[in-house]
Amino acid sequence: MPSINFYAKDSVNDEYLIMISFTFLGKRLKLSTGEKIKRRFWNAKKQEAASTWEFNPDELNFRLRKLSDFLFEEYRKQSNDNIDPSADTLRKAYEIFIHRRQPETTELLPYIDQFTERYKTKLHPRVIMYFKQLKQLLIDFEGKTGYKVNFQTISPDFYYQFYDFLTGLNYLDNTIGGFIKKLKRILNQAFEDGVSTCQEHKKKYFVAPNLPVDSIYLTKDEIDTIYNKDMGTERQNFKKDLFVLACHTGLRFSDWHKFKNYHYQNEKLLRVITQKSQTEVIIPLHPVAQEILNKYDESNWYIPSNQKMNDFLKVLGEDVGLTQIVNVTERKNRKVISSGIAKYDLISTHTARRSFATNAFLSGVPTLAIMKITGHSTESSFMKYIRISSLENALILQKHSFFTV
């Protein structure tokens, strides 16, 4: 977990310059708060202005807490976006936040270039390509409709015209939803950078269309087959084991890095503070999960990017024979269409979490107990999340006393 310390640095005229030391991922970032205080009024132990300071110590301490909260939130945001936070990205965000650095542009289309340049080493090249494709689509949209695209012109009129424009290009609803999500990401970042005050993308109408596909899960036997597969190299076997570990714990990909410093008690309970909700999840350790955790020490742990892991999992799935055809549904031109896709081509890091929930449910684990781990707030949302066939559902009901008495 990241940590923050405030410390005072010698300045002039018997004053201290208050500094921030932000430690994360084994790195340390030192930043100036711009705040100064006489050295005798700085409480080094409490890392705050002393109550005896004549210039409103409560106000200064409040400003310091705001800086601390911002860094923690920025770190959390970058981590949730599957970006490894760096000193450079955190420093830039911090300097914009305290108005020491001015955003480079106030126009939407040039800002997309600024965004992709900032994250070009943090996001997978394929993701960067999608953001560039979004910019080109917006340029084409301007050319065809005459609608000037900028932060100030984001509105319901823009949303519906742009949606119709993408539909006219024969994009599927889920693909259109992907572009809308990326546009929302751009608008969110621009707001946080102080480039834009636009909040239209947070309104109900600005929805990313999405037709649920037939997301897969892996059965216990399929997970065992994957676990027993020798991938040939230590690095490849580690990635394979990491995925199996997630299948037995149900953790999101954003929490996989916490396996490295796992903590469990004598009763073999894995305790994790989840990245998304910042709540503690306690998970009983399956024997295979325990075996994997004991197999690797810290020097063996390397978490690849989400995209690289997804690419690896598709190869792994094909290698172990997950070639059965799965029916996938999407919407195109307001019509629902179906197509068959090999199961291995649908595997992703999220498949591990879905497999955990579905297998636990099929094994008779109480729904509410599983929800304590997955974090679903309602049983109805949980039931939409798991994947069971009509036959599997019938076999579960067959064991119920209603059908046996």
In a domain, 102, yes or no: no
In a domain, 99, yes or no: no
Residues 198 and 228 in one domain: no
Residues 235 and 365 in one domain: yes
Give the domain-ending residue among 38, 70, 94. Answer: 94
In a domain, 138, yes or no: yes
For Cα atoms 320, 322, 323, give the angle at the middle one, nearest 5 degrees.
125
For residue 263, give the 3-state DSSP assignment: coil
Instruction: Work out whether the CA dihedral 89, 90, 96, 97 comes out positive or negative.
Output: positive
Residues 134 and 240 in one domain: no
Query: What is the reported pLDDT for 227?
Result: 96
Report the C-alpha gap between 174 and 167 in whole angstroms: 11
Query: What is the reported pLDDT for 143?
Result: 94
Residues 192 and 326 in one domain: no
In a domain, 207, yes or no: no
Domain containing residue 112: 108-202
Residues 246 and 320 in one domain: yes
For the chain, how many structural domains are there in total?
A: 3
Residues 45 and 190 in one domain: no
In a domain, 214, yes or no: no
Residues 42 and 81 in one domain: yes
Report the C-alpha gap between 377 and 386 in whole angstroms: 14
Closest alpha carbon to 259 in 218, 223, 303: 303
Ramachandran angles phi, psi of 34, nearest 5°: 80, 0
Query: What is the reported pLDDT for 172?
Result: 73
In a domain, 63, yes or no: yes
In a domain, 209, yes or no: no
Residues 33 and 123 in one domain: no
Q: Which amino acid type is present at position 22?
A: F
Report the C-alpha gap between 264 and 145 in whole angstroms: 59
Buried residues in 342-381 as b, exposed as e (16+ CB within 10 A): ebbbbbbbebbbbbbbbbbbbeeeeeeebbebbebeeeee
Report the C-alpha gap between 160 and 201 in whole angstroms: 12
Buried residues in 307-335 as b, exposed as e (16+ CB within 10 A): bebbebbbebbeebebeeebebebbbeee
Query: What is the reported pLDDT for 171?
Result: 83
Query: What is the reported pLDDT for 246?
Result: 94
Residues 224 and 195 in one domain: no
In a domain, 100, yes or no: no
Query: What is the reported pLDDT for 161?
Result: 94
Structure tokens at 401: 């006393």
Q: What is the CATH number of the domain that holds 165?
A: 1.10.150
Q: What is the CATH number of the domain that holds 245?
A: 1.10.443.10
Residues 292 and 379 in one domain: yes
> Which residues does the chain have with pLDDT short of 70?
11-13, 81-84, 99-105, 122, 124, 210-214, 261-267, 298-299, 329-339, 387-393, 395-397, 399-401, 403, 405
Residues 61 and 147 in one domain: no
Residue 25 region by backbone torsions, left for phi larger than 0, else alpha for psi between -120 and 50, else beta: left
